[in-house]
Structure 1
């Protein structure tokens, strides 16, 4: 038992078990960027189509001819910089529209491979208390989340902060679903959801779905025990997004117990500089792949395992997690006892097989 001061100045008694239960039950929030999609299909999608990074995107889509005769101030080859300048000028609306159509068509054609991908392991490594927020337009995360229901319904929430080609909306009834489906209320086909394209001055309030996605992220991130950034480079065209993330996470001095993980191939020093405003002291870890992260090593118990390691000084067995190339049958066998434990648990601390 511990005695702490209450907001009113009096002493209150807190049970150590209740503290542990509360901390372990907090969300794990994951933000994913283009690097996560590239990691999910390193050899191409189901049909061999590669994910494209923003750098060189114009040329990879064969759209360089659209820029003929246009004098750009930017020397960047990044479509975010090029698009942002074109859109801001107000003089090249036809080119901007062609770029938007090409982007939507390109990403709409991506299909997740038959074998399990990094996105499958990411989704299955978390639970319903957690949330994945994607900055990507492609449908791969949504496809992985959809087929993961074959294993369990105890899956994280997913939201798309810049929209997603896989999702449609009904503005009338405020419903969201797969673009190929109909609204469950009025029965009308869903409209294609909006994609938020890369301009410097983004407005996250204009679109119903995107506004709600940011609200859900804000709610989860404020309460999160763990925050993972996977393949998101925090580009300069996303300053508004970074400001919102900072506001939700709060000052790093208020996050003395929380943990941040970065999954990225960039050097650790560069990543630490990028995310320094979020990190308190040494509560920071980088890895270049999902399988060496807390989600990969301790699937469905990332917060529980991290609390055991840092607060209870327990040694953990990192060999019991996910491995590259695991089949769906192997994943089912690994997760079944964890899923069963959570289904019969009545809100107490969950079983942790990683100690």
Structure 2
């Protein structure tokens, strides 16, 4: 097994990928402003008419689950519908680039309910063999993920019966999501990479209050990681990235380098696609400039030879 790079995605990564809306002009939101989406307009009016407060989605979820289960079920259904509907634009996006910039030793762990990273993986697998792409996992579930007793995949791929919908890890204190077989399997993947990653990148993830138990769990795992050299935090500007760094300072004890990035283009992933770990602490490692307006063809002209090198090494091991 080679050294590993773990990338953890939060809502900000989806927003950065579709800043002008998705393929159909739809936008993504963080949990804090989710109810601003037009998808929830009539629902908000309904719950406000019943004197539920809607300014705190986490509190609303807990209150509805305890006091009005039909309304809670309606809300969860709307959330699933909203995030299942998002589609990547036709152009080469940040998530496409992210998928191509990591190796099969690496993992992308998405806490997002949308499946944009799955879409990116699927369309990039048309250009690069799947065995050369990173592992994907969804510890909070995914609106388009389905599973059976052997596999998990996307609803966009399978149409046959016998598949179960992934749960969505709604912010409800009473529900033990990890007892679900799918969610549990996804946490096993995250647990492994948190213990064994040489580098961790948080992209658009701000560690919301509802994730506090998850963060404590990750902290316990990370304490067992003796090889992590660098943590990067990507947000939409440096000030916000520094705020997140402060929120995630609990992880700093295990590494010498907690590095906030002003945006994706300042990250090691953007500067050193498929070679992020080779560049750690290597001051002689040359940084190539990859313009953010590059097409897929232009980007492949850079990373294609790197993938060929990796493929040759794998073939020689067989």
For each residue in 1:37-62, what CA deviation from the matched residue of structure 2 results, as whole angstroms up to 9, or x when unmatched? 00010000011111122223223221
For each residue in 1:283-320, what CA deviation from the matched residue of structure 2 results, as whole angstroms up to 9, or x when unmatched? 111112212111110000101111xxx1xx43333234
2:119 aligned with 1:143, yes or no? yes
Counterparts in 2 of 1:93 and 1:315: CA distance versus 1, 3 Å = same
Question: 1:181 offset after TM fit, Å?
Answer: 4.6
Q: Secondary structure at the match of 2:249?
A: coil
Larger Rg: 1
Residues 122 and 290 of structure 1 are in contact (CA less than 8 Å); yes or no, is this contact kept in structure 2? no
Residues 81 and 237 of structure 1 are in contact (CA less than 8 Å); yes or no, is this contact kept in structure 2? no
Counterparts in 2 of 1:245 and 1:344: CA distance versus 1, 3 Å = same
Matched length: 308
Trace 1:19-38 onto structure 2 (pairs within 5 A).
Answer: 25-38=2-15
Runs of 5+ consecutive residues of structure 1 not aligned to the other structure = 1-21, 349-355
Q: Secondary structure at the match of 2:288?
A: helix
For each residue in 1:152-190, what CA deviation from the matched residue of structure 2 results, as whole angstroms up to 9, or x when unmatched? 1211101011111121112xx33212224559xxx6342
Runs of 5+ consecutive residues of structure 2 not aligned to the other structure = none
Q: Secondary structure at the match of 1:123?
A: helix
Please list every run of at least 4 consecutive aligned residues from structure 1 whose deviation after the TM superposition is greater than 6 angstroms. Answer: none
Alignment-derived partner of residue 297 in structure 2: 329
Alignment-derived partner of residue 141 in structure 2: 163
Q: Give the structure-1-normalised TM-score.
A: 0.80
Question: 1:192 offset after TM fit, Å?
Answer: 1.8
Please provide the CA RMSD for this pair: 2.2
Alignment-derived partner of residue 23 in structure 2: 46
For each residue in 1:252-271, what CA deviation from the matched residue of structure 2 results, as whole angstroms up to 9, or x when unmatched? xx657521000013435422
Counterparts in 2 of 1:46 and 1:232: CA distance versus 1, 3 Å = same
Given candidates 211, 218, 231, the residue that maps to 1:260 is 231
Residues 198 and 227 of structure 2 are in contact (CA less than 8 Å); yes or no, is this contact kept in structure 1? no
Alignment-derived partner of residue 216 in structure 1: 189
Residues 180 and 189 of structure 1 are in contact (CA less than 8 Å); yes or no, is this contact kept in structure 2? no
Trace 1:101-140 onto structure 2 (pairs within 5 A).
Answer: 101-140=77-116
Alignment-derived partner of residue 65 in structure 1: 45
Residues 199 and 228 of structure 2 are in contact (CA less than 8 Å); yes or no, is this contact kept in structure 1? no
Residues 201 and 240 of structure 1 are in contact (CA less than 8 Å); yes or no, is this contact kept in structure 2? no
